[in-house]
Structure 1
Amino acid sequence: MKRELRRVAHLDMDAFYASVELLRYPELKGQPVVIGGRSVDRPVMQADGTRRFARLRDYAGRGVVTTSTYEARALGVFSAMGLMKSAQLAPDAILLPVDFDAYRHYSRLFKQAVASIAPQIEDRGIDEIYIDLSDLQEDTHSLAQQIKQAVRNATGLSCSIGVAPNKLLAKICSDLDKPDGLTLLTPEDIPKRIWPLPVRKINGIGPKAGQKLEALGVHTIEDLAKAAPGLLQDHFGRSYAAWLLDAAQGVDERPLITRSEPKSISRETTFDRDLHARHDRESLSGIFTALCVKVAEDLRRKGYVGRTIGIKLRYTDFRIVTRDFTLPAPTADAATIRRAAGECLKRVPLEQRFRLLGVRVGALERPNAAQDGAQFYQEQLPFAE
């Protein structure tokens, strides 16, 4: 009996953060816009009713690009690039600060819109999801169009969807016709649509593996599909070599994980300048408290409490130090989290300046039987006011 093919969709929001900002500032549509940096000023309304925006050429600091519009990408500005370097490529581009509260809001909206049509969803982050369409009766193209329209109605934003027999192919497809794309793929389409692509288009082939394959003369997915198994095993080992050959043939049996429990919830921030625990005590105290409050808000919004409180510091030489503290009872209380995180900080060398501070809550559980540890640990914090 012939096995019935699955219908798996991968939905990817188009330039998500930048698109959310364009809803707020529609006059920027069609212009190169870069999102990034925490010290960037919000646009200022001028006397003539127009807004004055920061320009990339005026930025000074070590922030990085979070995302950019397609017009900025055409100038060579991409995610994770340093803002100072980006300014050399696109000095006149508009620069906006990140606003994660807004992005999370629109993320919830688009996922709710999709779930109203196709509830079997695997959440892959703030701007992408997998959707299982296999058990729905409607035509695939019609279903995908309904989902795209529902997302636009709910958010005012566009998305790109790829539909294929599995997650690996669907993710590749969602990127083929961006922005606002819709790509349907069958196994018969693989040689024509997938094989000509670079091997790095396969999710799971990272930079190092990509370079190794290039050195072996494997440049396209077709090259990989036709590579000798022994050659791949010699350079990648038996397990990864077998996966590479399956992936090149479009084979992927992974199920959609429609519900997963997070292991931890965290917040962290990279400073615009290096800070010192003693000399910058007041600034750090405010940052530290804000991180704890945000983690507590995230816990409550997602319906969790946690028992293990942790901190993360990255020094100026990029060394990372972490410390954990386990509470007797799980909590989602900001004050309790701050007190326990303070205990962690007491066990960290604070003589050097550092560039990043993070707070994490782990050992998560649902709060139905949990006790609130809000009165636990009253000792003085290193950054206490």
Structure 2
Amino acid sequence: MQHVAEPILHADMDAFYASVEQRDDPDLRDRPVVVGGASGRGVVAAASYEARHFGIRSAMPMVQARRLCPDLVVVTPRFDVYRDVSRDVMTILRSFTPLVEPLSLDEAFLDVAGAVRLFGPPDRIAAAIRTQVHDQVGLAVSVGVAPTKSLAKLCSDMAKPDGLLHVTAEEAPGFLRPLPVSRLWGAGPKTVERLHDYGLRTIGDVAGCDVGLLVRLLGTDRGRGLHDLAHGRDPRRVVPHEPAKSVSNETTFEHDVDDPAELHRVLLRLAAKVGSRLRAAELSGRTVSLKLRFATFKTITRSTTLDVPTDATRVIATEATALLDALRLERVRVRLLGVGVSNLATGDASRQLELDADERWKSVDAVTDAVRARFGGLDVTFASLLDDDLPELSETGDDRRLAPDDG
């Protein structure tokens, strides 16, 4: 596997609760909005960026927030809605890599070292994540790209709102040096105050400080930890809280599609990408699912469970096509189409459905995977997809095709 210098991403939704409320109620857009308790003892759970201009922050007493902004709009929290939106966002993140470590409903780390063959370099993956979250969920997400978790999180913080910041290992020392010590992960108000008392005001000051002094000031673990972070050192890896439950790929069309033939062809492309990702991760699954979102934003899913697990593109495409055909769509406008495989198991899926018993199809999968790996991001596709009339898609990955004259 090729070495990736900046494989860690930190994705952080912008003003998450407040942004969901503004998305769902157009009257709240561009207005100072906070989510929280409206009573006299209530506190701010989240503040829109319009509210933040008045100095309002999360955990602030609501009484104080109202004094800062008399026109403030206070919205009662809808945590069930926030959890649903969070699941949609995490599904998008896991469509790029199973190595996703959620920190809360609105932020997560990703390790994309193993995803670059399919989706391109980490900064391209970060840009694709931002596009998909915007198009499919209707919200903004800021993403940091860096060689370590702490630096990636710092990058996403500094990219807000609605931005992307990429810092390489070579750039890290110069990037960190002038920043205030409060930017170090784990440097709370008391730690910052103690560092300031000794004249340590920037991350560069901490990096240049004798580690023994930091240990005496802050204790062994915190002193050594902050010294390492100030030098850009952070050995922690992305650790998913649970094994991957599914592998999926979905696309939002630039324009709604109502032609069944076009839907079938896009479905085949998605199935090919899901199959490739399964094989790359040495996973197979028994449940094939289909997801559609209509122009009305109504979303439906359908699934079928196989007798034995599969990682074969042909099986996935056949089952997903059957699910689509069973819906008998008659010129219904489709906004989003997705294919997924769940009920996963590890291994090479050597036991395939009889449909895939033909070794030639297994060879086709092996060859296409090898070409993708050899030519980094190049998408090998079926001949039926080589058509200029395919609808414009908004999906993850490089949609170039390998044609005979590509050499």
Please indicate the TM-score interval, normalised by the length of the shorter structure.
Answer: 0.5 to 0.7
Cα distance in 2 for residues equivalent to 1:130 and 1:237: 28
In the alignment, what sits opposite 2:210? 228
- The within-5 A match list for 1:91-170 is 91-136=70-115, 137=117, 138-170=120-152
Cα distance in 2 for residues equivalent to 1:215 and 1:237: 16
Checking the alignment, whether the CA contact within 8 Å between 2:184 and 2:226 is kept in structure 1 is no
Matched, 1:255 2:234: no
Matched, 1:30 2:30: yes
- The within-5 A match list for 1:1-385 is 5-37=5-37, 40=38, 60-136=39-115, 137=117, 138-260=120-242
**How far off its partner does 1:228 sit?**
2.1
Q: Deviations over 1:79-129 (max 9, x none)?
A: 000001111111111111111011101000011111112221011110000
Checking the alignment, whether the CA contact within 8 Å between 1:63 and 1:82 is kept in structure 2 is yes
Checking the alignment, whether the CA contact within 8 Å between 2:43 and 2:58 is kept in structure 1 is yes
Identify if the C-alpha distance between structure 1 residues 260 and 210 changes in structure 2 by more than 3 Å, giving closer, same or farther: farther
Cα distance in 2 for residues equivalent to 1:217 and 1:71: 35
The number of residue pairs the alignment matches comes to 239
Amino acid at match of 1:83: M
In the alignment, what sits opposite 1:287? none
Q: Secondary structure at the residue paired with 1:98? A: coil
Q: Deviations over 1:325-383 (max 9, x none)?
A: xxxxxxxxxxxxxxxxxxxxxxxxxxxxxxxxxxxxxxxxxxxxxxxxxxxxxxxxxxx
Q: Deviations over 1:150-184 (max 9, x none)?
A: 11222100100001001010000001121111111
Cα distance in 1 for residues equivalent to 2:3 and 2:230: 21
Cα distance in 2 for residues equivalent to 1:81 and 1:22: 20
Amino acid at match of 2:214: L
**How far off its partner does 1:33 sit?**
0.9
Cα distance in 2 for residues equivalent to 1:163 and 1:178: 13
Q: Deviations over 1:120-140 (max 9, x none)?
A: 101111000001111122122
Amino acid at match of 1:16: F
Which stretch shifts more, 127-136 or 200-209? 200-209
Q: Secondary structure at the residue paired with 1:61? A: coil
Cα distance in 2 for residues equivalent to 1:10 and 1:191: 19
Structure that is richer in helix per residue: 2
Cα distance in 2 for residues equivalent to 1:240 and 1:128: 24
Cα distance in 1 for residues equivalent to 2:123 and 2:16: 23
Unmatched 5+ stretches in structure 2: 244-407
**How far off its partner does 1:260 sit?**
4.8
Checking the alignment, whether the CA contact within 8 Å between 2:7 and 2:145 is kept in structure 1 is yes
Checking the alignment, whether the CA contact within 8 Å between 2:36 and 2:44 is kept in structure 1 is yes
Identify if the C-alpha distance between structure 1 residues 4 and 109 changes in structure 2 by more than 3 Å, giving closer, same or farther: closer
Identify if the C-alpha distance between structure 1 residues 4 and 119 changes in structure 2 by more than 3 Å, giving closer, same or farther: closer
Cα distance in 2 for residues equivalent to 1:114 and 1:236: 37
Cα distance in 1 for residues equivalent to 2:102 and 2:208: 33
Unmatched 5+ stretches in structure 1: 41-59, 262-385
Checking the alignment, whether the CA contact within 8 Å between 1:114 and 1:150 is kept in structure 2 is no
Cα distance in 2 for residues equivalent to 1:4 and 1:91: 50
In the alignment, what sits opposite 1:368? none
Q: Secondary structure at the residue paired with 1:197? A: coil
CA RMSD of aligned residues (A): 1.8
Cα distance in 1 for residues equivalent to 2:95 and 2:49: 30
Checking the alignment, whether the CA contact within 8 Å between 1:33 and 1:71 is kept in structure 2 is yes
Checking the alignment, whether the CA contact within 8 Å between 1:9 and 1:130 is kept in structure 2 is yes
Amino acid at match of 2:160: K
Identify if the C-alpha distance between structure 1 residues 3 and 241 changes in structure 2 by more than 3 Å, giving closer, same or farther: farther
Which stretch shifts more, 15-24 or 222-231? 222-231
Cα distance in 2 for residues equivalent to 1:191 and 1:167: 15
TM-score by length of 1: 0.60
Identify if the C-alpha distance between structure 1 residues 198 and 216 changes in structure 2 by more than 3 Å, giving closer, same or farther: same
TM-score by length of 2: 0.56
